[in-house]
Amino acid sequence: MHSSRQLACSRWLFILNRRTPCIETFVNKAQTRLFNSSSSRMTIMPAWVIDRYGSNDVLRFTKNAGFPIINYPNEVIVKVHAAGLNPIDVSMRGGYGAASMAMKRDPLKLMQSGSEFPLILGRDVSGVIMECGLDVPPVYFKEGDEVWAAIPPWKQGSLAEFVVLSANEVSKKPKCLSHVEAAAIPYVAATAWSALVNTGGLKMDNCGKKRILILGGTGGVGTFSIQMLKAWGAHVTVTCSQNAERLMRGLGADHVVNYTAGPVEVPLSALEKFDLVLDNVGGSTESWALDLLKPWCGAKYITLVTPFLQNTDRLGLADGMLQTGVTLATKALKHLSKGVHYRWGMFAPNGPALDDISEIVDAGKINAVVEEVFSFSQVPQAMLKVENGHARGKTVVKVTTGTD
């Protein structure tokens, strides 16, 4: 299903904007029928933008943000109903990853520096398809479909009335969730999927006898990962602060270890060894967490806290990538000699994975863990909430702009 959907959505590689009238002459009748002229009057939209990197005061509300345009025929425009915030939004507000994102947006360096501004943050969206590119088959998406997506950090985000995405990044929203609930899941789900499935090799039918340790269970990635792994039958141990034990047990965690009660590696090392450790915390955890893995059994330590973007910001793209490669290879080799695998987990946009996750959600096996909901006028407060940490799930912004 994945490959056919990808093929169907990426056949044409030239630029084609369905809302540009002159293009109509190039398309056949069947395609012309799909045109939506109702949106052609729209050139601006409300959004929260930043015009420079900095602290929370760089956030600016505008009614005149540029309306997103379908540049490729495999793209869709989504009307945002709810936007989820993640720690990466706070980091990006401060300029984190700017060098790598600039390369991704403009690989030939044709634009001046600062061309990313005004930049719209927000990596989760739940909303409704407003318009589809010509190469998006109606069997996948059509106007009016309720969808969710994780927005790659190099694209304009969801703190706006509309967002344009590749159809490969979008998925039909679970029917049982509201938009606000749905906006709590895609970015952390795509990150967890990339780490646990693509890097960790876990899947529904091989988790049954696996022992998994999640360091940092209470945040967005942790609360999602516990539920997905339990739905797949794994045995899940998590670390969290004491007052989160009930939440962790409620999500299905089999064993909960309080990291505020003393060095957490002491109680963890008394437990049976693990097949996989997912590290959402970073820092000094690397110095002891790999000792908790079963040696010579293919066991993996996967950390989501990597120096990749810091390196490219600090050293530039070429030197940063070189430094990153050396660091990763050195650590991987060192731990391989002890019989365990050391890996980095990275977010990757993945509409087909969200299709699978949508089914698990609709089966009642994954719930949205929304910590707090803010209105569209409260985006700065929502961003501060994420910045101040101690998450218990996700911070979501309900996007109502007056044009609904």
Ligand X SMILES: NC(=O)c1ccc[n+]([C@@H]2O[C@H](COP(=O)([O-])OP(=O)(O)OC[C@H]3O[C@@H](n4cnc5c(N)ncnc54)[C@H](OP(=O)(O)O)[C@@H]3O)[C@@H](O)[C@H]2O)c1
Q: How many residues bind ligand X (CB under 6 A)?
A: 28
Options 57-65, 144-152, 202-210, 340-348: segment touching ligand X (CB under 6 A): 340-348
Helix residue ranges, H only, 42-141: 87-93, 98-105
Options 33-41, 45-53, 217-225, 362-370: segment touching ligand X (CB under 6 A): 217-225
The gap from C-alpha 230 to its chain's centroid, in whole angstroms, comes to 21
Which helix (H) or strand (E) segment is 238 a member of?
strand 235-240
Q: Which of 217, 143, 224 shows the shortest CA–CA distance to 185? A: 224
Closest to ligand X by CB, 130 vs 368, is 368
Q: Which of 141, 36, 93, 38 shows the shortest CA–CA distance to 383? A: 93
Q: Determine which residue in the list 67, 342, 347, 374 makes contact with ligand X, applying CB under 6 A.
A: 347
**By Cβ distance, which residue is nearest to ligand X?**
219
Closest to ligand X by CB, 9 vs 304, is 304
Instruction: Answer yes or no whether residue 218 interacts with ligand X by CB under 6 A.
Output: yes
Instruction: Answer yes or no whether residue 346 interacts with ligand X by CB under 6 A.
Output: yes
Instruction: Answer yes or no whether residue 156 interacts with ligand X by CB under 6 A.
Output: no
Q: Determine which residue in the list 121, 304, 340, 353 makes contact with ligand X, applying CB under 6 A.
A: 304
Instruction: Answer yes or no whether residue 221 interacts with ligand X by CB under 6 A.
Output: yes
Instruction: Answer yes or no whether residue 395 interacts with ligand X by CB under 6 A.
Output: no
In 332-402, DSSP assigns E strands to 341-344, 370-375, 394-398
Closest to ligand X by CB, 133 vs 152, is 152
Closest to ligand X by CB, 212 vs 391, is 391
Retrieve residue 85's tokens. 């915030």
Closest to ligand X by CB, 65 vs 386, is 386
Q: At what angle do helices 317-336 and 308-315 cross, to 10 degrees?
A: 140
Instruction: Answer yes or no whether residue 350 interacts with ligand X by CB under 6 A.
Output: no
State how beta strands 44-50 and 255-258 pair. Answer: unpaired
Options 61-69, 143-151, 302-310, 376-384: segment touching ligand X (CB under 6 A): 302-310
The gap from C-alpha 359 to its chain's centroid, in whole angstroms, comes to 18
Instruction: Answer yes or no whether residue 262 interacts with ligand X by CB under 6 A.
Output: no
Closest to ligand X by CB, 69 vs 346, is 346
Contact 326, 243 (CB under 8 A): no
Instruction: Answer yes or no whether residue 239 interacts with ligand X by CB under 6 A.
Output: yes
Closest to ligand X by CB, 65 vs 180, is 180
Instruction: Answer yes or no whether residue 339 interacts with ligand X by CB under 6 A.
Output: no
The gap from C-alpha 277 to its chain's centroid, in whole angstroms, comes to 20
Instruction: Answer yes or no whether residue 101 interacts with ligand X by CB under 6 A.
Output: no
List C-alpha distances in Å: 231 to 206, 298, 357.
Answer: 12, 22, 11
Q: Determine which residue in the list 203, 246, 338, 390 makes contact with ligand X, applying CB under 6 A.
A: 390
Closest to ligand X by CB, 127 vs 222, is 222
Options 74-82, 159-167, 175-183, 303-311: segment touching ligand X (CB under 6 A): 303-311
Contact 60, 141 (CB under 8 A): no
Instruction: Answer yes or no whether residue 220 interacts with ligand X by CB under 6 A.
Output: yes
Q: Which of 187, 279, 289, 240 shows the shortest CA–CA distance to 391? A: 240
State how beta strands 162-166 and 75-85 pair. Answer: antiparallel
Residues 6+ apart with CB under 8 A from 263: none
Strand partners for 374: 397
Instruction: Answer yes or no whether residue 214 interacts with ligand X by CB under 6 A.
Output: no
Closest to ligand X by CB, 69 vs 373, is 373
Q: Determine which residue in the list 107, 364, 389, 402 makes contact with ligand X, applying CB under 6 A.
A: 389
Q: Which 3 state secondary structure label does DSSP give 106?
A: coil
Nearest approach in angstroms of CB 394 to ligand X is: 7
The gap from C-alpha 99 to its chain's centroid, in whole angstroms, comes to 19
Instruction: Answer yes or no whether residue 197 interacts with ligand X by CB under 6 A.
Output: no
Q: Give the CA dihedral 69, 74, 75, 81, nearest 10 degrees.
A: 150
The gap from C-alpha 114 to its chain's centroid, in whole angstroms, comes to 24
Q: Which 3 state secondary structure label does DSSP give 208?
A: coil
Instruction: Answer yes or no whether residue 222 interacts with ligand X by CB under 6 A.
Output: yes
Q: Which residues bind ligand X (CB under 6 A)?
A: 86-88, 188, 191, 215-216, 218-222, 239-241, 244, 259, 280-281, 304-306, 345-347, 389-391
